[in-house]
Amino acid sequence: MGETVMLPRPARVGGLPVWGVIKERRTIRQYSGDPLALDVVSQLLWASSGVSGDAPHLRTAPSAGGRHPATTMLVANRVTGLTPGIYRYSPDQHGLELVSRGDYGDTLVDACSGQNMLGSAPAVFAWNVEPERTTSRYGDRGKRYILLDLGHACQNLHLAATALGLGCCSIGAYSDDRVNGIFGLDGKANAVLYMATVGVLEGE
């Protein structure tokens, strides 16, 4: 087990009105190059997949049967207070466990058909899915539910980024084998099914 970084408490009240945030949401692929603050990353992680109630399965994004088969991974390219590397988010602790140190920006760009925002973004979110957690209850239909779960989480990330004045871009085009290799996954029992970049808007 790697070192664990406990995150600042996320804000649970206030913020911009939701209708305005929905209206302003756009896919943003170009970023300023500025780092993200740790409290901002904390807010984004909580908004996309954090615990929002008095039980671990009560999260900010819905999941079929409360199974939550996805683990949020964070590639910290430039996050203040974090060593560059790959981290695993623990919703229960609201903390990040260091999986591996290193600069993964260029490696991700290469594994994702040259999508440069994966290198320029200060943070990349990736959802590592354990299908058995859902299919053990729902059988083959659980595969559909997993995809729906990921859509909920990524949309929350988009809206949270917009509310914080940041840009976000979801990523679905990449080499499965190469991306899973970067995260140390076998691509079967565990696999990355979705990613997203978040960064500071140019000119901000």
Amino acid 2: pLDDT: 76
Sign of the CA dihedral running 17, 44, 47, 126: positive
Tokens 């949401």 — which residue?
A: 25
Is pTM beyond 0.95? Reply is yes
Residue 203 predicted with pLDDT over 90: no
| Segments making up each domain of the chain, as ranges | 17-200
Pick the CATH number of 17-200 from 3.40.109.10, 3.40.640.10, 3.90.850.10, 1.10.10.10: 3.40.109.10
Q: Distance between CA 56 and CA 150 in Å, rounded?
A: 18
Q: Which pLDDT tens digit goes with each residue over 65-121? A: 999 999 999 999 999 999 999 999 999 999 999 999 999 999 999 999 999 999 999
At 181 the three-state DSSP class reads helix
Q: Which two tokens stand for residue 38?
A: 């740790």
The answer to whether residues 150 and 105 touch, using CB atoms and an 8 Å cutoff, is no
